[in-house]
Amino acid sequence: MSLLKEILNKIKSSALLKSGLAVTAAKSFVIIGNFLIFFILVRICTPTDFGTWILYTSIIVIFEVANNSFVSNAIIKYYNDYRGELSGKFIYNAFAFSLFLTLVISLLLFVSIYFINLIYNSSYLNELLWYGPLILLCSGLINVLNCIEQGNLRFYGQLISSILKSGIFIIYLFYLFLTKSSYDLHHFVIVNIIAGFLSLLLVFFTTKKYFRLTMKYDFIIIKKIAKYGFFTFGIEVIGQISGNIGQLISGALLSPAAVGIINVATRVLQFIEIPLQSVSSVLMPQGVITLKEKGIDGIKILYEKSSALIVVVMLPILILFFVFSDQVIYLIAGENFGQASILLKIIIFYSLFKPFGRNAGVILNAIGKTRINFFMILIPTAINLIFNYYLIKQLGVRVNAFKFDLKF
């Protein structure tokens, strides 16, 4: 009992520990929520509809990451430079740039729909993508609010928005599953939009105490955000594309059902993303502060400790998944996705290297070396794209597991 009390006191006295727990809770809920969504979807949807939904979410997430990543790290990095009376002006310009960027990304999405139709030849998929700008608007504004909160080393907005956005969709799917009602993928998108707007309202009321707006345009602030954000934008978007290359190419060359098989294998390993994403979220603002206070030597120690921590947490889970891959696939997806077992084993192997690359990228962003990080991701992604295209075309869906996962 005394040990428990000591742990609680240590958490209460450490802002970093409290923030880390909030981020871990948020990331855990997102990943567990996504898993529950997947678990229900494979049981209520046909393989083709399930594959179409995965293609839709994969494409939308790429545009969503493009929209959010351009400003998120830049806001966290420069927020502390505009404290006090200047914070209102910085926040106003950050919001203005974010809204402008959402408009540009939405226009790019509309243009892309034509080319997506040529690649996938799916009118159903195209119809779903037209809802995209509403998704981008909600997530973009939530992202700015969360970044302002993170600049204060608080992360509760992430937790709140994660619970609400995922929770509403899970409840809706659970209702369909229990009542055996018919479904429509259009309704899935609409429910997600409603959940996004409700999350935005709730996050606004919980984070508004951190800012006041000074409605004054400042080109210098916009330039700082845009210049820093360009490379982090490229890093995040390329990383997202790299992570979904197999699914996107399989959907184009094979069928939506093939996308479902790949997604089943990769979905299992989302649980290891909990420590990865949690540490990454805390590492960025902590890295900025550590660089100022302790210099590069402090950054090195921070990188080593954070990477070691993730490996220690991940290893037992990966070993269990590797040994019982057949049973795990059968348990979560049923007998229709048995091919995913071999994919899972190979993905587990290269997942051991993820913490080192992921944390290296975050640290490079924190110390302002975004250009180096950009090319560290661009080159392996290009190799992945080439090999996935030609090998999937010749050998089918199983080859997706053998992709050259060199990226950070």
Give the total residue count for the chain.
408
Question: Can you tell me the distance from the alpha carbon of 122 to that of 97, in angstroms, rounded to the nearest whole number?
Answer: 34
Contact by Cβ (8 Å): 145, 157:
yes
Residue from 260, 310, 296 nearest 49 by CA: 260
pLDDT for position 298: 79
- Give the pLDDT band (50/70/90) at residue 171: very high
**How many other C-beta atoms can be found within 10 angstroms of the C-beta atom of residue 334?**
12
Question: Can you tell me the distance from the alpha carbon of 251 to that of 53, in angstroms, rounded to the nearest whole number?
Answer: 11
In three-state form (DSSP H/G/I as H, E/B as E, the rest C), the secondary structure along the chain is: CHHHHHHHHHHHHCHHHHHHHHHHHHHHHHHHHHHHHHHHHHHHCCHHHHHHHHHHHHHHHHHHHHHHHHHHHHHHHHHHHHCHHHHHHHHHHHHHHHHHHHHHHHHHHHHHHHHHHHHHCCHHHHHHHCCHHHHHHHHHHHHHHHHHHHHCCCCHHHHHHHHHHHHHHHHHHHHHHHHCCCCCHHHHHHHHHHHHHHHHHHHHHHHHHHCCCCCCCCHHHHHHHHHHHHHHHHHHHHHHHHHHHHHHHHHHHCCHHHHHHHHHHHHHHHHHHHHHHHHHHHHHHHHHHHHHHHHHHHHHHHHHHHHHHHHHHHHHHHHHHHHCHHHHHHHHHCHHHCCHHHHHHHHHHHHCCHHHHHHHHHHHHHCCCHHHHHHHHHHHHHHHHHHHHHHHHHHCHHHHHHCCCCCC
pLDDT for position 15: 53
- Give the pLDDT band (50/70/90) at residue 216: confident
pLDDT for position 77: 74
Residue with the bigger pLDDT between 257 and 385: it is 385
Question: Can you tell me the distance from the alpha carbon of 133 to that of 214, in angstroms, rounded to the nearest whole number?
Answer: 27
Contact by Cβ (8 Å): 75, 148:
yes
Q: How many CA atoms lie within 13 A of 17 on its CB side?
A: 8
pLDDT for position 205: 84
- Give the pLDDT band (50/70/90) at residue 385: low
pLDDT for position 238: 65
pLDDT for position 7: 46
Residue with the bigger pLDDT between 392 and 33: it is 33
339, 384, 108, 151 alpha-carbon torsion, rounded to 10°: 100
- Give the pLDDT band (50/70/90) at residue 405: very low
Retrieve residue 233's tokens.
Answer: 């934008």
* Residue with tokens 């080393």, as numbered in its chain: 153
Backbone angle region of 214, left / alpha / beta, with phi > 0 → left and psi within -120 to 50 → alpha:
beta
In this predicted structure, the answer to whether residue 5 has a pLDDT above a threshold of 60 is no
pLDDT tens by residue, 127-170: 899 998 999 998 888 888 888 777 666 666 677 777 888 889 99
In this predicted structure, the answer to whether residue 407 has a pLDDT above a threshold of 50 is no
How buried is 168 (Cβ within 10 angstroms: 0-12 exposed, 13-18 middle, 19+ buried)?
middle
pLDDT tens by residue, 11-70: 455 555 565 566 666 667 777 787 888 888 888 888 778 878 888 888 898 888 888 877
Rounded average pLDDT over 386-403: 54
φ and ψ at 385, to 5 degrees?
A: -60, -50
pLDDT for position 145: 84
Rounded average pLDDT over 391-397: 53
Rounded average pLDDT over 277-288: 68
In this predicted structure, the answer to whether residue 193 has a pLDDT above a threshold of 90 is yes
